[in-house]
């Protein structure tokens, strides 16, 4: 009987210790001030929905088909980066720029916010390879099967061009101003691709289509 009581006391002490530890313990890595993330980092990318064909309705971003598909892809991308342990805290917004020919190719942008001191951050956590790998790994784990209409080919995902760092104020710019900066970034990226012998991704035009804002 005495032994049983001793074991019971030990068990209760262990349980109580675990409860107190979970309440008191705070992960130092989780302590961050989002208000200090005042620098914007923009990425552009593409991927293909290989089981759907491009139609004229997708040429206009305000058409019902474009709007519906854009919202679906925007939510999917937002969920991927918001839930990422490494990138979630820095992720800010996402938009679909346009769709292009063939099996549907979606052109999108991703916006992250970083602290003023971000030298190491952009070399590792927010590097282009890291941002792309998070997306590609999530696409490999997607719920859709390769034969389903909304299946996205993981191997087709690509972060196009170089990322741009845009200065931002701590109180954030209004949506309209941010969208204009994103459009300017796309123009710069497209011009860079043309100078380097590449083809502009917008079927011959530098800027077309539209954006969905706010992203979530």
Q: What is the pLDDT of residues 83-126, one digit of tens each?
A: 999 999 999 999 999 999 878 999 999 999 888 877 788 888 88
pLDDT of 94: 94
d(CA 179, CA 35): 21
What are the CA-CA distances from residue 63 to residues 56, 92, 121, 207 (Å)?
Answer: 10, 26, 39, 17
d(CA 211, CA 216): 12
In this prediction the pTM is 0.68
d(CA 117, CA 178): 21
Q: Answer for the pair 128, 43: CB distance below 8 angstroms, yes or no.
A: yes
Average confidence (pLDDT) over 5-19: 66
pLDDT of 133: 94
User: What are the φ/ψ torsions at residue 107 (nearest 5 degrees)?
Assistant: -105, 125
Which residues partner with 158 through β-bridges?
A: 46
Is the pLDDT higher at 68 or at 5?
A: 68
Instruction: Name the packing angle between helices 128-140 and 64-82 (round to 10°).
Output: 110
179 has pLDDT over 80: no
> Using omega within 30 degrees of 0 as the cis cutoff, is the peptide bond preceding 51 cis?
no
pLDDT of 211: 36
Structural domains present in the chain: 33-195 (3.30.70.960)
What does the mean pLDDT of the chain come to? 74
Angle at Cα 88 formed by Cα 86 and Cα 94, nearest 5°?
125
Give the tokens for residue 195: 């100078």
d(CA 134, CA 130): 6
d(CA 67, CA 118): 35
DSSP H helical ranges for the chain: 2-24, 64-82, 119-123, 128-140, 175-195
26 has pLDDT over 50: no
181 has pLDDT over 50: yes
pLDDT of 101: 84
Among the ranges given (12-26, 42-56, 152-166), the one the predictor scored with the smallest mean pLDDT: 12-26
202 has pLDDT over 70: no
pLDDT of 20: 54
- At 50, is the secondary structure helix, strand, or coil? strand
d(CA 134, CA 48): 17
């Amino acid at each position: 009987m005495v032994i049983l009581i001793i074991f019971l006391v030990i068990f209760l002490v262990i349980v109580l210790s675990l409860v107190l530890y979970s309440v008191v313990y705070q992960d130092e890595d989780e302590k961050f001030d989002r208000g200090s993330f005042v620098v914007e980092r923009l990425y552009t990318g593409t991927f293909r929905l290989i089981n759907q064909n491009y139609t004229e309705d997708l040429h206009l971003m305000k058409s019902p088909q474009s709007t519906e598909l854009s919202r679906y892809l925007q939510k999917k991308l937002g969920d991927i980066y918001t839930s990422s342990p490494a990138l979630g805290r820095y992720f800010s917004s996402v938009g679909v720029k346009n769709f292009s020919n063939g099996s549907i190719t979606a052109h999108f942008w991703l916006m992250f916010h970083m602290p003023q001191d971000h030298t190491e951050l952009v070399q590792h956590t927010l590097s282009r390879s890291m941002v792309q790998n998070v997306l590609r790994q999530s696409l490999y784990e997607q719920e859709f099967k390769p034969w389903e209409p909304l299946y996205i080919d993981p191997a087709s995902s690509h972060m196009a061009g170089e990322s741009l760092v845009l200065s931002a104020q701590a109180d954030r710019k209004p949506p309209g101003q941010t969208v204009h900066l994103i459009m300017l970034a796309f123009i710069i990226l497209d011009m860079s691709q043309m100078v380097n012998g590449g083809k502009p991704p917008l079927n011959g035009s530098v800027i077309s289509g539209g954006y969905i804002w706010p992203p979530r």
